[in-house]
Chains A and B, each alone.
Chain A
Amino acid sequence: MTVVDIAKKVNSGEVSALEIITKTLDGIKEKNPSLNAFLEIFEEEALKRAKEIDAMPQGKKGRLAGVPVAIKDNILYEGHICSCASKMLENYKAPYTATVVKKLLKEGAVIVGRTNMDEFAMGSSNENSAFGPVKNPLDLARVPGGSSGGSAAAVASGMVPVALGSDTGGSIRQPASFCGVVGIKPTYGSVSRYGLTAFASSADQIGPITNNIEDNELVLSVISGQDKKDSTSKPAPQNKQEKQNLTLGVPTDFLANLKGETAEAFNQAVELFKTKGVQIKEISLPHAKYAAPCYHILTSSEASSNLARFDGLRYGYSAKDTKDLEDTYLKNRAAFGPEVKRRIILGTFSLNSAHAGDFYLQAQKVRELIKQDFQKALKEVDAIIMPTTPNGAFKIGEVEDILTLYLADLFTCPANMAGVPALTVPFGKDKNNMPLGLQICANYFNENLLYKTAALARGK
């Protein structure tokens, strides 16, 4: 059942929340052992909460009444472990609840568990989890993408109708595309990050992954909004313009090297839009090709600062038999996995005063040019379309070269650097019959245009 259906039926009393949740938990127990998408199921609590929702008056159970939701393991839910799929936080219990989770609970949602991910949200294959890789539900030999791979796999396998992910350089859209589901990275500042374990604060955003567009829009409307506890959050502007005739931009310069099934699927999407009366216009994003390297410098720099707090003194992994404080820091921080170590070292290097001008500061400037590219293009068109990823899901263990892995985020990084919202919707298949995604980017707070364009791509 869809999110929209569950909420409607639970509210009307046609189905009980308990039935929905019991069935969901049974499904997770059956499917999860082969997928490793969930790190923990909150069974007892979910059942208790379902009963509470059933006891509420009909029609007043909330906009997400009885909807089972999975949360990525970097989002805090008081009293529950939040490990960021890291040995560092394996036993860390959240001392408070994230704003997004509070908002979901207020509307009658039931949090059924926490999903696997790349450690500290760093990765694009989910092979960086300290608790084993997640399998793609469409082909168990393949990766689900990352870093929100557990969330995407949980939705694609039908275990839950919605899961929250977080996206710093493509971590919602890339796994959603690899698993054939819908995922959105909302406008920077539109969803509160209070209670999201920070990776790179100037880019991190929380967003929903769902099986369809309507569900995605509903869940995003619940979790959005300004929050005093996240000073970067902003209220959405009032009086949004509803567009009747869309104009979509194709960044031909950025997509010059597109090939194979990705190019074919994208060209088919363009043709489909034309048949729907959409005007297609060539646009230019001259600096978008620098978004991936720019992302790696800036987010690693921020991560080196954000992850400095994990020293294993106040909480987290604590090594035995250390000599002194320095030795304690070193032994405790050995709990980080290789990708986290790589990014902390790269970030510390980029911020080093000897060449911060060539790396961190230059990357900030290039980021500004990327933003300006988007602003200029979005004056001419309502939204920009491009593939979500250069290829479909690859096999687990197949890609060892880290630069090749980093390029999986080639098309998703620009939206994070510009702060604009971007959504992926399944469109086409690769030669292995794995799904490909169409990515749509719009101007700040124009998520409604993303959903409208996505619906057209789905033939509606």
Chain B
Amino acid sequence: METNLQELKQVAKLAKIELSKQEEEKLIKQIASVVNWVEEIQKVDTSALTRLQEYFTPKREDIPMQFEKADVLTSAFNDKQDKLLKVKKVL
């Protein structure tokens, strides 16, 4: 449980989710309790399943398509310069 709490805090950072002290206290404990609950699936014997890739949704071919309303998309940018998305400095 304790390992999970530490790890979940780290995972939140990786997912770009910032938690306030108060939020962290509550949310992380709740998620740890969910982790404990979902762990029960580890009891299931799945040894009869060998061809796992067949159970995933098949991937489609990656073919580029033209979206006719590109300007509508760029008009939603929160900050831009000409047609380009403008972001804060990276470093």
Contact = CB atoms under 8 A, between A and B. Distances in A.
B78 interface: yes
Contact of B44 (A201, A232, A287, A329): A287
Nearest to A287: B44
Given A290-B40, A333-B16, A341-B19, A346 B31 contact: yes
A104 B11 CA distance: 42
Nearest to A188: B57
Interface in A314-328: 314-316, 318, 322-325, 327-328
A319 B91 CA distance: 18
Interface in B39-57: 39-42, 44, 46, 49, 52, 55-57
Contacts of A403: 33-34, 37
B76 interface: yes
A344 B8 CA distance: 11
A335 to B, nearest CB: 11
Nearest to B43: A290
Nearest to B74: A314
A273 B79 CA distance: 62
B17 A333 contact: yes
Nearest to A354: B7
Nearest to B90: A325
Nearest to B69: A95
Q: Is the interface of A mostly helix, strand, loop or mixed?
A: helix
Contact of B16 (A93, A311, A364, A366): A311
Given A330-B18, A333-B18, A323 B44 contact: no
Given A315-B76, A333-B16, A324 B88 contact: yes
Given A325-B89, A406-B34, A334 B18 contact: yes
B8 to A, nearest CB: 6
Contacts of A406: 34, 37
Nearest to B34: A346
A263 B27 CA distance: 34
Interface string A347-376: 111101010001101111111110000000
Contacts of B14: 348
Contacts of A349: 7-8, 11, 31, 35
Contacts of A359: 38
Given A345-B27, A362-B42, A314 B34 contact: no
Contacts of A342: 27, 30-31, 34
Interface stretch (A107-115, A148-156, A291-299): A291-299
Given A315-B78, A345-B17, A366 B44 contact: yes
A369 B34 contact: no
Nearest to B33: A403
Contacts of B85: 313-314
A352 B88 contact: no
B23 interface: yes
Contacts of B90: 324-325
A358 B42 CA distance: 6
A322 B57 CA distance: 39
Contacts of A93: 76
B21 interface: no
A331 B40 CA distance: 35
B1 interface: no
Contacts of B38: 293-294, 296-297, 350, 359, 363
A95 B17 contact: no
B46 A341 contact: no
Contacts of A327: 88
A95 B76 CA distance: 9
A304 interface: yes
Nearest to B12: A345
Contacts of B33: 402-403
Contacts of B40: 290, 293
A231 B69 contact: no
B73 A363 contact: no
B63 to A, nearest CB: 10
A312 interface: yes
B44 A290 contact: yes
Contacts of B30: 342, 402
Contacts of A314: 73, 76-78, 85
Nearest to B57: A202
A369 B15 contact: no
Nearest to A314: B77
B83 interface: no
B49 A369 contact: yes
A365 B87 contact: no
Contacts of B42: 358, 362
Shortest Cβ-Cβ A-B pairs, 4 listed: A231-B60, A365-B46, A293-B38, A315-B76
Interface of A: 92-93, 95-96, 201-202, 231-232, 287, 290, 293-294, 296-297, 304, 308, 311-316, 318, 322-325, 327-331, 333-334, 336, 338, 341-342, 344-350, 352, 354, 358-359, 361-369, 402-403, 406
Interface of B: 7-8, 11-12, 14-19, 23, 27-28, 30-31, 33-35, 37-42, 44, 46, 49, 52, 55-57, 60, 69, 72-73, 76-79, 85, 87-91
